[in-house]
Structure 1
Amino acid sequence: MASPVSMSIFILQIPSFLLLYILLLYLFNVILRKFRLVQKFSGHNPPTYPVIGCLISFYKNQGRLLDWYTELLAESATNTIVVHRLGARRTVVTANPGNVEYMLKTNFNNFPKGQPFTEILGDFLGYGIFNVDGELWRTQRKFASHEFTAKSLREFFVMTLEEEVEKGLLPILESLAATAEVVDLQELLRRFAFNMVLKVSLGIDRCCLDPSRPVPPLTRAFDKASEICARRGAAPLFIVWKIKKWLGIGSERQLKNAVEEIHRYVSEIISSKKEMIEKGENRDEDLLSRLILAGHEEEVIRDMVINFIMAGRDTTSAAMTWLFWLLSCHPEIEKEVVKETRVLMERRLDYDSLKEFNLLKACLCESMRLYPPIAWDSKHAIANDLLPDDTPVRAGDRVTYFPYGMGRMEALWGED
């Protein structure tokens, strides 16, 4: 039998237990109501829960993010969704042309890339044009705009293209056709694009195009750095890769090694190019020579060159791969393209005459509508804002425009 003292203590504890029970019951009710509200008013946003946000759905669809976002955007009346996810900033994803124009033109200054974006690519792209904002971006853009519209660089590009096709790509394709070998066209075009961009950017000779040969170390380093940076951006929890970087383990260690190899290779080319310029042995046709002669610091030159190589290689090879794949799926269109090409190829081609390939241009535009080389791009709002479709944006929000989804919106293109 319990003593009077024990009974007194138990009686005194009853109010405390009761208070705790009421408090837990209240918190449970609040969370349940919040859950119901989130589910009820989330519209076409992904299923969202308290605290974790849409982390579960994001993880389930991690292997098909492009199609998942496209489905959500297609169901939205404004082609815009808002994503809340544990470990990530509030994200506005849009395929609305009015919003895209507002971000990239009308109120451009409020939507820089921002630190969260530059942090993901900073180890790889450094202070290059595709990873900086403000005055540094404007300076590099002005230089790039001037150089890439210069007649001399355009002529050098066309000359390099002809040389790479005639001496590299066509012999490989003819050899493969003669032996009826199956070829990984994507890998072949990646090597071809890499050769082109190395010649135009650095002025160095091409690598081997033969897909049966091992991938060159520089190509492998670019592939590894690109892959890991892409995984950083798509990670459900950003804190994971940051911890791995701090510890120097796993994929982050691989990224560091790949970037070091790229820096070492490009720095050696810069030093060699400077010596050639000093000796008067350089023709000043490539982009690197122009950067050196413009007086930029070596680190800036290195990062700019890496940015141009990265952008030119992957976008070009992706666009060509999808174009050839789609043409193979539509043989009647393929025949018309070949017919147009044969007619126009009877005379010597130059940069300006490429504009006369109307059907080829239409096919390329349609291919890039369906499979854009840049599937999405993100900015980060500096101040609170309101998009043209009345979606509120908070300071610090990630705002993503989505070309892949835009190319599939029936509101823009119709059913077919």
Structure 2
Amino acid sequence: MSVELELLLSFLLLIVSFFFIFFFITGSSKSEKSISAHLPKSYPLIGSSFAIKANFDRRIQWTSDILQNIPSATFVLHRPMGHRQIFTGNPTNVQHILKTNFHHYQKGSFTRHTLFDFLGNGIFNADGDTWKFQRQVASHEFSNRSLRKFVETVVNTELSQRLIPILSIAAANKTVLDLQDILQRFAFDNICKIAFGYDPAYLLPSLTPAQFAEAFEESTRIISARLNRPFPIIWKIKKLFRVGSEKRLQKSMSEVRNFAMNIVKEKKEELKQNSSLESVDLLSRFLSSGISDETFVTDVVISFILAGRDTTSAALTWFFWLISKNQHVETEILKEIQEKSNVAIFEEVKDMVYTHASLCETMRLYPPVPVDTKIAVSDDVLPDGTWVKKGTRVTYHPYAMGG
């Protein structure tokens, strides 16, 4: 082969290589630009504070939009003072966090300290052996036998004597009701009965306020706001000087804890007088397990009330809202109810396949817990390659995953 031909081939190879490199770089650049266009801008020291503040009232939808518009469904939110928070809607990452590498992702000191005034050492603010113990005892309460008795007694009474009459009267008089408020009251009564064996009678026809329920609602609202504050130092200063929302929190939490503690004491006395007492409530189960620390038992019960009230009422509110927008689904549910109406209550509920699927679809689109956060207790790498430093807040996003 001549020297000229070799030079020509080398030149052509160089041109082809150049174009390959050019298109590769250009393609990567466009992809990176497309991704960065959806990510919040970050600045030295303050991170993405401007974007966080601008989207504070729609933060769940905002972070969901970001996750749904980037291929990895994972991004890092830069908070003030160099703190990183990882958001993910990637199913493989979520499985890694909640199952495969579960022990490396816990509530952590940040969450525990933030929520301690409200939840104490309850199951939703505990890790390790404390969490395992509460889960084990509670799992017995939600066994098939206990759950059946609960449905047949507590829920059926609440439905037939309170919820249905209220809705029937409103329908007859064409009265407008706040369905979310009604369902919160319904869920609150139910969960207090299964948690304490106590009836707060929050869902009465008069719909009057109940001191314990109102104090619980106030505590929940303020403690949740703590978690979402971009600068935690603010609530800590307010707590130190007992001003503003932190002053209200101390008052409402004092009411909740005093009320709950009195119920715990009464239940202990009741069990002491009748050790063979048959009860379906969670409080009796924990006290019968040998725990004598009343503060700890109170923490446990408050956690379960929080879980049962908010999740149930949120799911039911979205369920009825979606039914109102989809008449064909309503028709199918009513048809299924009529077909199963001659079956025993518990069996009837188990066999309602279409209704069950409708509820599941509701919770896929509008999960009662739209986001949840863990803290990495050691350095880790998520399956998609995202590096996680020890102490980093890692938030998985069920709402974004169901969209």
- Give the TM interval when normalised to the shorter protein: 0.7 to 0.9
> Matched residue of 1:285: which SS?
coil
Q: 2:306 aligns with which of 302, 307, 310?
A: 310
Asked if the contact 1:384–1:395 (Cα under 8 Å) also holds between the matched residues in 2, the reply is: yes
1:118 Cα deviation (Å)? 1.1
Moved more, 65-74 or 139-148: 139-148
Decide which of 332, 336, 346 is 2:332's aligned counterpart. Answer: 336
Given that 2:149 and 2:280 are in contact with CA atoms closer than 8 Å, whether structure 1 keeps it comes out as no
Q: Deviations over 1:162-190 (max 9, x none)?
A: 11111111111111112111111110000
Opposite residue 354 of structure 1, the aligned amino acid is V
1:267–1:302: 8 Å Cα contact kept in structure 2? yes
Please, which of 105, 112, 119 is the counterpart of residue 99 of structure 2? 105
Q: What is the match of residue 169 of structure 1?
A: 163
Q: Equivalents in 2 of 1:208, 1:146: separation in Å?
A: 27
Q: 1:357 aligns with which of 347, 352, 372?
A: 352
Moved more, 140-149 or 326-335: 140-149
Query: What does residue 253 of structure 2 align with?
Result: 259
Whether the 8 Å contact between 1:129 and 1:141 is mirrored in structure 2 is yes
Q: 1:284 to 1:76 in 2, by over 3 A?
A: same
Q: CA shift at 1:285, angstroms?
A: 2.3
The answer on 1:294 being equivalent to 2:315 is no
CA distance in 2, matches of 1:178, 1:78: 52
Q: Deviations over 1:291-322 (max 9, x none)?
A: 11111121111110111111001100000000
Amino acid in structure 2 at the alignment position of 1:122: F
Tell me the amino acid that sits aligned with residue 403 of structure 1: P
- Is contact 1:111-1:382 (8 Å) kept? yes
For the aligned residue pairs, the C-alpha RMSD in angstroms reads: 1.9
Q: Name the SS of the counterpart of 1:399 in structure 2.
A: strand
Aligned amino acid, residue 189 of structure 2: N
Distance in structure 1 (CA, Å) of the matches to 2:333 and 2:389: 48
Q: Does 1:369 align with 2:364?
A: yes
> What residue number does 1:76 align with?
70
Distance change (3 Å), C-alpha of 1:88 and 1:220: farther
Aligned match of 2:396: 401
What is the correspondence of 1:201-212 to structure 2 with a 5 Å cutoff?
201-210=195-204
3-state SS of 2:373 partner: strand
When normalised by structure 2's length, the TM-score is 0.88
Residues in 1 aligned to 2:189 and 2:302: alpha-carbon distance in whole angstroms:
14
Tell me the SS of whatever aligns to 2:42.
Answer: coil
Q: 1:97, 1:165 → 2: CA distance?
A: 37
When residues 42 and 52 of structure 1 are mapped into structure 2, their CA distance, relative to the original with a 3 A threshold, is farther
Change (3 A) 1:190 1:211: farther
On the 8 A contact 1:188/1:210 being kept in 2, the answer is no
Indicate how the Cα distance of structure 1 residues 221 and 313 shifts in structure 2: closer, same or farther if over 3 A, else same. Answer: same
Which of the residues 44, 51, 54 maps onto 1:50?
Answer: 44
In the aligned structure 1, how far is the partner of 2:34 from the partner of 2:164?
59
Contact kept, 8 Å, 1:194 with 1:309, in 2: the verdict is: yes
Quick one: which amino acid aligns to residue 300 of structure 1?
F
State which of 106, 110, 123 in structure 1 corresponds to 2:117. Answer: 123
Q: Secondary structure at the match of 1:237?
A: coil
What is the aligned residue count? 370
**1:319 maps to what in 2?**
315
How far apart, CA to CA, are the structure 2 residues paired with 1:176 and 1:200? 28
1:276 CA drift (Å): 1.6
Moved more, 240-249 or 353-362: 353-362
Task: Deviation per CA, 1:302-356: give whole Å up to 9, x if none.
Answer: 1101111110011000000000011011112111111111111122221x54232
Distance 1:371 1:359 in 2: 18
CA distance in 2, matches of 1:279, 1:67: 53
Is the Cα contact below 8 Å between 1:42 and 1:48 reproduced in 2?
Answer: no
Tell me by how many angstroms 1:392 deviates.
0.7
Q: Work out the CA distance in 2 between the residues paired with 1:391 and 1:152.
A: 43
Give the letter for the 2:179 counterpart.
L
Q: Give the Cα separation in 1 of the matches to 2:332 and 2:82.
A: 48
Match of 1:381 in 2: 376
Which segments of 5 or more consecutive residues in structure 2 lack a partner in the other structure? 1-31
Q: Is the CA contact (8 Å cut-off) linking 2:341 and 2:348 kept in structure 1?
A: no
User: Alpha-carbon deviations, 1:353-375, whole Å to 9, x = none?
Assistant: 42321111111111111111101
CA distance in 1, matches of 2:192, 2:377: 36
Q: Within 2, Cα distance between the matches of 1:300 and 1:342?
A: 46
Q: Closer, same or farther in 2 for the Cα pair 1:177/1:40, shift >3 Å? A: closer
Is the Cα–Cα contact under 8 Å of residues 106 and 375 in structure 2 kept in the other structure? yes
Cα separation, 1, equivalents of 2:49 and 2:344: 56
Aligned to 1:235: 229
| 1:192-229 superposed Cα distances (whole Å, 9 cap, x missing partner) | 10010111111122414247533211111111111111
1:95 CA drift (Å)? 0.4
Instruction: State the TM-score, normalized to the length of structure 1.
Output: 0.85
Summarize the alignment of residues 112-191 of structure 1 with structure 2, pairs less than 5 Å apart. Answer: 112-149=106-143, 151-191=145-185
CA distance in 1, matches of 2:230, 2:245: 16
Distance 2:363 2:113 in 1: 28
- Amino acid in the other structure paired with 2:128: G
Q: Distance in 2 between matches of 1:114 and 1:279?
A: 40
Q: Percent identity?
A: 41
Aligned pair in 2 of structure 1 residues 53, 150: CA closer, same or farther (>3 Å)?
A: same
Q: Is the 8 A contact 1:82 1:93 kept in 2?
A: yes
Task: Please tell me the residue identity of whatever aligns with 1:290.
Answer: R
SS at match of 2:370: coil
